[in-house]
């Protein structure tokens, strides 16, 4: 199963997050949410396998957290 670890405001941010997580060895899936006509400006969910959630959240927090 997959779990959402971050909701990016657009495709560009989602792609950046995906690249970061993949460089750390995670398997990542992106899933657009909202209306299809939004294209690259719509929100995108970033998902990882359930077994990798805690580690992925740590990477996200250390890279983008305050």
Per-domain residue ranges for the chain? 2-64
Under CATH, which number does the domain 2-64 receive? 3.30.70.1530
Q: What percentage of the chain carries pLDDT values higher than 90?
A: 79
When mean pLDDT is compared across 1-5, 10-14, 37-41, 44-48, the lowest value belongs to 37-41
- Per the CB < 8 A criterion, the answer to whether 42 and 33 are in contact is yes
Quote the pTM value.
0.87
Q: Which residue has the higher pLDDT, 13 or 36?
A: 13
User: What's the pLDDT tens digit per position in 9-25?
Assistant: 999 999 999 999 999 99
Choose among 9, 44, 40: nearest CA to 29: 44
Structure tokens at 53: 């959630």
Answer whether residue 57 shows pLDDT above 80: yes
- CA dist 27 and 2 (Å) reads 10
According to the model, what pLDDT value does residue 18 have? Answer: 97
């Amino acid at each position: 199963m997959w779990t959402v670890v971050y909701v990016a405001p657009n495709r560009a941010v989602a792609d950046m997050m995906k690249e970061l997580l993949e460089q750390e060895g995670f398997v990542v899936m992106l899933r657009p949410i909202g209306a299809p006509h939004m294209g690259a400006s719509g929100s995108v969910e970033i998902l990882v396998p359930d077994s990798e959630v805690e580690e992925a959240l740590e990477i996200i927090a250390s890279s983008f957290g305050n």
